[in-house]
Structure formats: C-alpha cells, structure tokens
C-alpha cells in the first residue's frame, strides 16, 4: 500500500506539472507595469488596424512604454498613467452576460467590477478590446470615448447591448 500511495502522489505531481507547463506554454508573454501583470490575448494578430488608433492620452494620462514584456511582442497592449490604465486587444468576443453593458459613442462595452477597479470589454466586436481601469479614475466610463476609434475599427459581430 505504501508503494501504491507514493506512486499515486508521483502521478498526481507529474500531471500537475504537465498542466502547469501547458498553461505557461500557452501564454506568449506577460506584461508587468507597477505590479500589474497582464497576459497576452489569444487573437493579437487581428488587432493590427485597431492598435495604431489607440489614443496618446486617456483621461489626461499620457501613454507610457514603461512596462516590461517578458516574452513576445507587446504591440497589442497600451498603458496610460500611474496607476496604470491598461488596454489589450485580441480577446474572443463576449457572449451574453449578466454584467452591465454601456453604449459609449456607438461602441458597446461590458463593465465587470473588480476589487481594484473595473474591466471594460467591447461587446459586439471581434476581436474584443479589454480595458482595466483602477478606481483612481472614477467615474471610469468617462475614459471610454478616447478608445472609441480603435474599437470601431474592429469588425462588428451584430451583437449589441440592447
């Protein structure tokens, strides 16, 4: 029995390690900015039109390149201010959700409250843009119009907030 228990523990440990390696292998890079880490979105290549349209300022905060890309190419990420407002492009489009959905200048955004701010994700766009906004910038929806041109450049899926 002792040998069988040791073998089961070894198998479980090996399976856990393989799972960890599989997850880590799927992340093309992570970005750190003042302690905030953001994983790479899966459909980054589809954002070549949107990312050049990202604004130079959001909420009076200038764009910053003061982040560290650990692996890959962070062309699909923009950062403004400190604490950081972080926008990423290349996420799968959202399906139906119980979260609040807002129409801001013709772009629909789903708002998901977080412990330290809010995550806005475009709704009805493929790929989606995700924006992390710390509480320091409340009311956070006022930042979204600056991101409208980039969001509008992405293909519409036909889904809307209403």
| Domain presence at residue 148 | yes
d(CA 74, CA 63): 14
d(CA 36, CA 11): 34
Residues 110, 59, 153, 47, CA torsion sign: negative
| Domain presence at residue 16 | no
- The residues, ordered by sequence, that sit 6+ positions from 128 with a Cβ below 8 Å of its Cβ are 89, 90, 91, 92, 93, 94, 121, 122, 154
| Domain presence at residue 20 | no
| Domain presence at residue 6 | no
User: Which residue range forms the structural domain that includes residue 75?
Assistant: 29-152
| Domain presence at residue 59 | yes
Query: Which of 131, 86, 90, 83 has the alpha carbon at shortest distance from 107?
Result: 131
Question: Residue 70 has what pLDDT?
Answer: 52
Torsion angles phi and psi, residue 124, rounded to 5: 85, 20
| Domain presence at residue 134 | yes
Residue-wise pLDDT tens for the chain (162 aa)?
455 444 444 333 333 322 232 333 333 344 554 555 677 777 777 888 999 999 999 999 998 876 555 544 566 788 999 899 999 999 999 998 899 999 999 999 999 999 999 999 999 999 999 999 999 999 999 999 999 999 999 999 999 987
Tell me the whole-structure pTM to 2 decimals: 0.76
108 has which bridge partners? 103, 123
Q: Give the model confidence (pLDDT) of 84-130 as tens digits.
A: 999 999 999 999 889 999 999 999 999 999 999 999 999 999 999 99
| Domain presence at residue 161 | no
Question: Residue 1 has what pLDDT?
Answer: 47
DSSP single-letter state for residue 70: -
DSSP single-letter state for residue 81: T
| Domain presence at residue 138 | yes
Contact 50, 155 (CB under 8 A): no
Question: Residue 6 has what pLDDT?
Answer: 45
Question: Residue 13 has what pLDDT?
Answer: 34
How many domains is the chain built from? 1
């Amino acid at each position: 029995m002792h040998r069988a228990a040791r073998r089961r523990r070894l198998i479980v440990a090996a399976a856990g390690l393989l799972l960890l390696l599989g997850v880590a292998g799927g992340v093309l890079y992570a970005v750190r900015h003042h302690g905030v880490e953001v994983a790479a979105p899966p459909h980054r290549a589809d954002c070549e039109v949107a990312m050049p349209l990202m604004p130079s300022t959001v909420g009076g905060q200038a764009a910053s390149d003061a982040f560290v890309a650990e692996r890959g190419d962070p062309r699909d990420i923009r950062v403004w201010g400190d604490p950081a407002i972080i926008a990423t492009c290349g996420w799968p489009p959202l399906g139906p959700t119980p979260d609040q959905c807002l129409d801001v200048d013709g772009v629909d955004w789903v708002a998901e409250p977080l412990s330290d701010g809010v995550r806005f994700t475009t709704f009805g766009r493929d790929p989606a843009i995700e924006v992390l906004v710390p509480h320091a910038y409340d009311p956070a929806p006022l930042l979204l119009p600056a991101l409208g041109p980039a969001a509008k450049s992405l293909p519409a899926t036909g889904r809307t907030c209403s």
